[in-house]
Amino acid sequence: MSILSRSLALILASSALAFSAQAQTNFPFVLNQAASNFTFGGTTTLGPLVGNPSNMFQLLGTQNLDLAFQAGAQPFASGAFTNGGVVGTNGALHAKITGAFGITLATIDINNMTLSATSPTFTVGAGGAFNATVVLTALSGQFVVTPLVGTPSTTDMTGSTSAPTAVNGTLTLLGGNYRMVAPINTVFAFTDPGTGASGNVTLVGTITADYPFLKPYCFGDGPGTACPCGNNSTLGQQRGCLHSGAQGAKLVGSGIPSLTADTLVLQATSQPAGTLGLFFQGTGQSAAGLGAPFGDGLICVGGSIIRLGIKAAPSGSSNYPAAGDASVSVQGLVGGAPTIRNYQLWYRDAAAFCTAATYNLTNGLQVQWMP
């Protein structure tokens, strides 16, 4: 093989390795409706388009992003807006076209509109900043024009697309979430077959959405798998089944689950005071995340199990890791990030309560590990 051929082979091999390291994983980001505020306006061949009476609305639903990770404080290497989620408005949009002397020439109603955003892959820079070229596609909706004189017309919006739009946003870590903030200023063109009017509708606002990388699941509160003795905890508190002290123990996480800078801490509270508990990890979830009866509680973790450590709870609380312990990723032999692991605390409850078993469990905690 010539020197040139060997060099080319090395370059191609290096490129392949770089590509595999940048493999993207799909994440459904849930919009924060209260922080995803928009306005609309526009121009038409008949006159300006204004709110009727208001031009304000909010977006809600799910927007999918493909993300590739990297080691370091800023964990995102690249991303892309992808199909799979559905974003809708919090009600119909009502507008009017005004002419001379403020006369309403037509009203416009946009009903049942849902959207999805797509983009080519973009890089993520310092502080999580990214620049993407986004196209919004209508998945559904009806564009209804009612003229001052004449018959109303309805146009199906399905498949309508916005103009390609530059989005300068951020991807960051906030609490236990990936947080995406994406300012949008985009335009949909329209033509009304009834009046012959044409124009543009402009949507301006900011999408704010989260994906939880620390996600509690498998609660002993009733809607999922029933607790063994009807010993359900209070709905909405995200705890395990009640123990003999009439409380459900709770597992949460704090810190960052990163293989290169692991600061994750598993925190269990509301155990019976003075008891011991085992923190453990699994590669899967029991009963598709609903849990299965086990002792006085529900076993939430499944797949390959690894014991992390036994901890005392003198006042009803315990953590892993504590001082001197290996990190969760090291003790749990976590590798190949991005990857998901699941965690739970199995604790002793020797009082005569519920079943003949002398143990119970917290809720489960799903953790999305990063490089």
Domains in the chain and their CATH numbers? 24-212 (2.40.160), 214-369 (2.60.40)
Look at residue 11 and tell me whether its pLDDT is greater than 60: no
pLDDT tier for residue 22 given thresholds of 50, 70 and 90: low
Q: What gap in Å lies between CA 82 and CA 33, rounded to an integer?
A: 20
Q: Quote the pLDDT of residue 9.
A: 38
Per residue in 180-206, pLDDT (tens digit) is 999 999 999 999 888 888 999 999 999
Q: How many CB atoms lie within 10 A of CB 325?
A: 15
Phi and psi at 3, nearest 5°, equal -60, -40
Identity of the amino acid at 58 = Q
3-state secondary structure 215-240: EEECCCCCCCCCCCCCCCCCCCCCCC
**Residues across the chain:** 371
In percent, the amount of the chain with pLDDT more than 90 equals: 87
Look at residue 21 and tell me whether its pLDDT is greater than 70: no
pLDDT tier for residue 18 given thresholds of 50, 70 and 90: very low
Q: What gap in Å lies between CA 369 and CA 319, rounded to an integer?
A: 19
- What is the arithmetic mean of pLDDT over 206-212? 98
Per residue in 217-268, pLDDT (tens digit) is 999 999 999 999 999 999 999 999 999 999 999 999 999 999 999 999 999 9
Closest among 167, 166, 238, 165 to 208, alpha carbons compared: 167
pLDDT tier for residue 72 given thresholds of 50, 70 and 90: confident
Closest among 162, 188, 169, 175 to 36, alpha carbons compared: 169
Per residue in 50-62, pLDDT (tens digit) is 999 999 999 999 9
- What is the arithmetic mean of pLDDT over 283-298? 98
Q: Quote the pLDDT of residue 77.
A: 95
Do residues 222 and 349 make contact, with C-beta atoms less than 8 angstroms apart? Answer: no
Per residue in 84-128, pLDDT (tens digit) is 999 999 999 999 999 888 899 999 999 999 999 999 999 999 999
Closest among 87, 100, 110 to 192, alpha carbons compared: 110
Mean pLDDT of the residues in the chain: 92
Q: Quote the pLDDT of residue 17.
A: 35
Do residues 50 and 107 make contact, with C-beta atoms less than 8 angstroms apart? Answer: no
Q: What gap in Å lies between CA 299 and CA 282, rounded to an integer?
A: 11
Strand partners, 111: 142
pLDDT tier for residue 5 given thresholds of 50, 70 and 90: very low
pLDDT tier for residue 7 given thresholds of 50, 70 and 90: very low
Closest among 268, 226, 253 to 361, alpha carbons compared: 268
Q: Tokens for 122?
A: 């973009």
Look at residue 19 and tell me whether its pLDDT is greater than 60: no
